[in-house]
Amino acid sequence: MIVGKIIGTSSTKEFDFLVQKKINKFEYIQVYNENGKYCLCQVVDLLRDSEKTVAKSQVLGYREDNRIKTPRQPFRPGTEVLYASDDFISQTIEIGKSGLLLGSIEGRNISVFLDTNKLLTKHLAIIAKSGSGKSYACGVIVEEIIKRGIPLIIVDPHGEYSSLRLPNDRKEEIDKLKPLGLKPKGFIEQVIEFGDTQLSSSCLPLKLRDSLTAEDLFTLFPVKLSSAQQVLLYNAIKDKSSDLDSVILSIESEETGAKIGLLSQLKYIKSLEIFDSDGLSYSELVKKARCSLINLRGYPLELQEFFIAKILSDLFLLRKKEDIPPLFVVVEEAHNFCPERSFGESRSSRIIRTLASEGRKFGLGLGIITQRPAKIDKNVLSQCSTQLILKTTNPNDLKAISNSVEGITSEKEKEIRNLAIGSAIVTGFLEMPVFVNIRPRQTRHGGHAVDFEKEDFKGSFESYEEKLSVILPRVNKKDLEIMTGKKYVSTLIPAVYINMENEGSRHKVLFELVNGNVIQDIDKKKYSVFSGQPFSEIESFYSVEQMPEKLIKSDKELKQRVSVKSIMERIKQKYKVASYEECSLLVYVPGSDENVES
């Protein structure tokens, strides 16, 4: 189908054509080349005035001798531009017919498969701002890896991946799976999860074998050791590994003052109760058809870093000796665990850098997921040959992406800002970046934000009492400081959670009791000022990051000024209160400890 004719000045890289048939931005087109072959091109922008529409287009190339080549001569004015056929696109960009099914080319019925070997040996990065679909897309890739029986470890700081055990239950997503020949599916037998058993009953205890080297302990100490302490520790462990109790006993028997500080740190480590003679068995963790989740939810960041450093270092060593099979390791929120050097060091930085640069030689593939490409170690990012880039808007992050990813032009940067949820630019695995519609998940996605409006607390409100006593924001303080460049102090503010009804409709609403404002959905980082309208009509939302600033502006003291009773009075004009629960809300207030009263 002819869609237009070339006009104006063309180069070997770009040209304009006069649009004769409707065409969309980023549509693939084909143009006859002087060497007698069609060349694949893409519309990158459309300009319209009262008389005509002109499509600005980019030359992608044609396939010859199994390579993509670009024409040596520009197209002539008047040359016809055709809508590219699905076959021509697949042949030119060689999307393949097998591999990991990621989705389809945006706007086309062409499936996109990632080459399994390339992906697993040359590392993967999934990049996007928060809420843009990183974990969802990662879940799709993880499903494909599990189906192939490839051993997989997922470092999961928020405990989002346990839902891989369950089949997708969202009707609109299930409907879209059918044409792909896929069904909802849960990997109950393949997925095992280690974490804090008190927070998640589906977890096995996350305990490490009590066999420690001096390096392990150095990584774990909260304070740097003096050289005298280091000598003591090395002498106690010698060059083998040892259990914590023997190390403590051995140091206790030394006659030196240097042991006091060292012993108190060792006892602190013992109090963490993360070591056990019956700890993680790596051969159980890494085996065929096994996806092991390291659920770090609830552990302080320092401990999360230690778990990652210890587990990944041990696995790398075992892999080098071929004591465990080749495997793929996914690290969620990787910017926290391997930050760019100017953002400080993490205990896990070194091993993640090593895996990025050396893992492939030993059959250990790495997948990193980050919402802050500017904050993650540049070398780690650039070692990831396949990149899945979803919506990103922060200019520093866009710069980091274009610096480390080949083929991201300023045009593409603009597009990255405007990507819809579920769409990605995928680079590296093909000779040119492609826009991909990520396929629906077969398993259930675990990263959905909690929707306080939809959550049904009816009948089970009591069981939420404990969970609601302190409500935590989703962003952690360290991240917030890096995102905004400001310092924050954590403060608890009083709040009340009310379950109310109005003519059959139910609302579950959280009010802060400093100014009596309503926080509509803290997990979506939105809140709105209650001003008497029905909740569905409230339109003024503020991000949770702005919330403390709003509170401070109106009142420097974050103490309770509004009584629960007065909130009830306001509500009762329109709603019937079914139940309520007083709780606290953890907020990050800009400033340092001196200028905030908590």
Ligand X SMILES: Nc1ncnc2c1ncn2[C@@H]1O[C@H](COP(=O)(O)OP(=O)(O)OP(=O)(O)O)[C@@H](O)[C@H]1O
In angstroms, the CA 542 to CA 512 distance is 14
Q: How far is CA 222 from CA 196, 259, 269, in A?
A: 21, 16, 9
Stretch that binds Mg ion, among 90-98, 134-142, 218-226, 274-282 (CB under 5 A): 134-142
Candidates 77, 279, 447, 591; binder of ligand X (CB under 6 A) is 447
Q: Within 387-426, which residues bind ligand X (CB under 6 A)?
A: 421-422
The entry of Mg ion, ligand X, none near residue 241 (CB within 5 to 8 angstroms by kind) is none
- 591 binding ligand X? (CB under 6 A): no
- 422 binding Mg ion? (CB under 5 A): no
Stretch that binds Mg ion, among 21-29, 256-264, 443-451, 549-557 (CB under 5 A): 443-451
Positive or negative torsion for Cα 216, 217, 223, 228: negative
Nearer to ligand X, 448 or 576 (CB): 448
Q: Whose CA is closest to 331, among 515, 186, 469, 158? A: 158
For residue 223, the 8-state DSSP code is S
Nearer to ligand X, 59 or 138 (CB): 138
- 190 binding ligand X? (CB under 6 A): no
C-alpha dihedral, 415 to 421 to 422 to 423, nearest 10°: -10
- 10 binding ligand X? (CB under 6 A): no
Nearer to ligand X, 134 or 507 (CB): 134
The entry of Mg ion, ligand X, none near residue 421 (CB within 5 to 8 angstroms by kind) is ligand X
In angstroms, the CA 480 to CA 484 distance is 6
- 33 binding ligand X? (CB under 6 A): no
Structure-token pair, residue 174: 């299930």
- 184 binding ligand X? (CB under 6 A): no
Counting residues that bind ligand X (by CB under 6 A) gives 16
Q: How far is the CB of 588 from ligand X (least distance, A)?
A: 17
Give the E-state strand segments of 191-256 in sequence order.
191-195, 204-205, 208-209
- 111 binding ligand X? (CB under 6 A): no
Nearer to ligand X, 438 or 544 (CB): 438
Q: Within 318-357, which residues bind ligand X (CB under 6 A)?
A: none
The entry of Mg ion, ligand X, none near residue 371 (CB within 5 to 8 angstroms by kind) is ligand X
In angstroms, the CA 472 to CA 454 distance is 19
Candidates 63, 122, 123, 134; binder of ligand X (CB under 6 A) is 134
Q: Whose CA is closest to 434, among 87, 42, 83, 23? A: 42
Stretch that binds Mg ion, among 127-135, 282-290, 320-328, 409-417 (CB under 5 A): 127-135
- 132 binding Mg ion? (CB under 5 A): no
φ and ψ of 8, to 5 deg: 70, -160
426 sits in which H/E element: strand 423-427
Candidates 325, 447, 590, 591; binder of Mg ion (CB under 5 A) is 447
**SS3 category, 312:** helix
In angstroms, the CA 422 to CA 132 distance is 7
Q: Binding residues for Mg ion, per CB under 5 A?
A: 135, 447
